[in-house]
Amino acid sequence: MHNALQHGLEGSAIQVRLEGRADDVVIAVQNAGEIPADLLPTIFAPYRSGRRPSESSGLGLGLHITREIAQMHGAATCRCIPR
């Protein structure tokens, strides 16, 4: 949620969706921001940010930690899907 707030368009809505199925669960977070295509392949890598270091107050660990926690709970995949 923090990344959606920080990297989305200011004042825009954030949508969180949870879908439960027989064998899996999908959690989706969507905002009005856009991740540059060149960042998508490494967006879950540690110390990555969509901003220049001078523009970011974080370490670039949020999505990496999120993916690690999801995988520890049996997640098959974590991904960013462009609209």
Taking only the tens place, the pLDDT of each residue in 18-50 is 988 888 888 888 888 888 888 888 888 898 766
pLDDT value at residue 52: 58
DSSP 54: G
pLDDT value at residue 28: 86
* 80 contacts 35 by C-beta, under 8 angstroms: yes
SS3 for 17? strand
Average pLDDT of the chain to the nearest whole number: 81
Residue with the bigger pLDDT between 40 and 51: it is: 40
* 8 contacts 31 by C-beta, under 8 angstroms: yes
